[in-house]
Amino acid sequence: MKKSIDAKKGKGPKAKLSNDQLLTLYRNLVRADHFDKCYVRRIQAGQLISFYHAGEGGLAPGVGACSFLRKEDILWPHHRAHAQGHMLSKGIDLKYYLAEHTGKTTGCCKGRSSYHWSFPEYGVFGTSGCIGAGFSPTVGWGLACKKNGDGQITMMCCGDGGSNRGTAHESFLMANNWKLPIVYLIENNGLAIFSKHEDMHPTKDIADLAKGYGMPAVIVDGQDVIAVAEATLKAVEHARAGKGPYLIEAKTVRIQAHGVGLPDLVDYTPRSKEEIDELRERDAILICRERLLTEGLLSQELIDQIEAEATQEVADAERFADESPVADQLDLSDINKLVYAE
């Protein structure tokens, strides 16, 4: 991972986190990892509808950025790991999510959304298979947050590939002109399906784009969940204070192929085991665990307890999803209710 974390590391803003917050980050990271593995296992077993983009290696940016958002803050999540780290960190009970992706009536969208889920009560008003599609609605949501005037913010997450959208530039421009409370989180794992970052971007750092729009930006080590959270708290504070948008680029990695079942190619060449092993050296859970052990916040007993709780949470979610009734995909009688607010 050496190549993708060196840039301007450590130069970003810092905010002090409490011991409780540090433990929350570790706990959420472990939970996200367990749910990610559950989704990989289930899609391979044919127990999940649609497709799955495994999150291994890249879960820390979503967890670090979303763990301390308010429930009413608006979130456009990233597609990697189906944003499970973002969702659970924001307080969403993932059993409703798993039920959704299992096509069950108890799912967050009554089992009918596949990839296009929403959780309006948690500020997630929609998602899309069209990467970076959140850039335009984000401006509208940001404007609504500003008009609400109570410090609510919008967070827009996407990968380096998603940031290639032309709408990203329009979004940055409007957000800055109108000083909208938006935090852009670019989760840069250096790859977009089979293409390398350097083949698609003129500069090494996507954060450089922010300069052109007069927007503050920071680059953080996306394998360090604490660094991501500290940077996000500063960015969110900036946005809540009415100072306008902020861009965070978290340099992260993708360990698995783009989607479960796809060949793991870059430039038509399979990635080597050595390359993958090198990426694994900077495992976000291990980095966080070591830091919290050093600071005396974690013990082996607590590590085991957090693991056991995450295992139980996933098992409970799977039981809930499996025991729920199957949604009738052909029943269109309530389709308007599912699409429009009353």
Ligand X SMILES: Cc1ncc(C[n+]2csc(CCOP(=O)(O)OP(=O)(O)O)c2C)c(N)n1
> Would you tell me which residues interact with ligand X (CB under 6 A)?
53, 80, 129-131, 158-162, 189, 191-193, 254, 258
DSSP letter (8 states) at residue 71: T
Burial of 153 (0-12, 13-18, 19+ CB in 10 A): buried
Q: How far is the CB of 158 from ligand X (least distance, A)?
A: 6
- Closest CB to ligand X among residues 266, 297: 266
182: which strand partners?
Answer: 154
Q: How far is the CB of 159 from ligand X (least distance, A)?
A: 2
| Cα gap 197→46, rounded to integer Å | 32
Nearest to residue 252, comparing CAs of 160, 139, 156? 160
- Closest CB to ligand X among residues 210, 321: 210
Strands 182-188 and 217-221, by their bridges, are unpaired
Query: Is-contact 39 52, C-beta < 8 A?
Result: yes
What does the block give as tokens for 334? 């309530």
Residue 321: CB atoms within 10 A of its CB come to 25
Strands 182-188 and 269-270, by their bridges, are unpaired
Q: How far is the CB of 81 from ligand X (least distance, A)?
A: 9
Name residues whose C-beta falls within 8 Å of residue 306's C-beta, 6 or more positions apart in sequence.
Answer: 26, 27, 30
Q: Name the H helices within the chain.
A: 2-5, 19-44, 60-66, 84-89, 95-100, 135-148, 166-177, 197-200, 208-211, 225-240, 273-280, 284-294, 300-323, 335-339
Residue 156 carries which side chain, given as an amino acid letter? M
Alpha-carbon Rg for the chain, nearest whole angstrom, is 19
- Closest CB to ligand X among residues 131, 297: 131
Treating both helix axes as pointing N-terminal to C-terminal, what angle do 166-177 and 135-148 enclose, rounded to 10 degrees?
20
What does the block give as tokens for 104? 């069950």
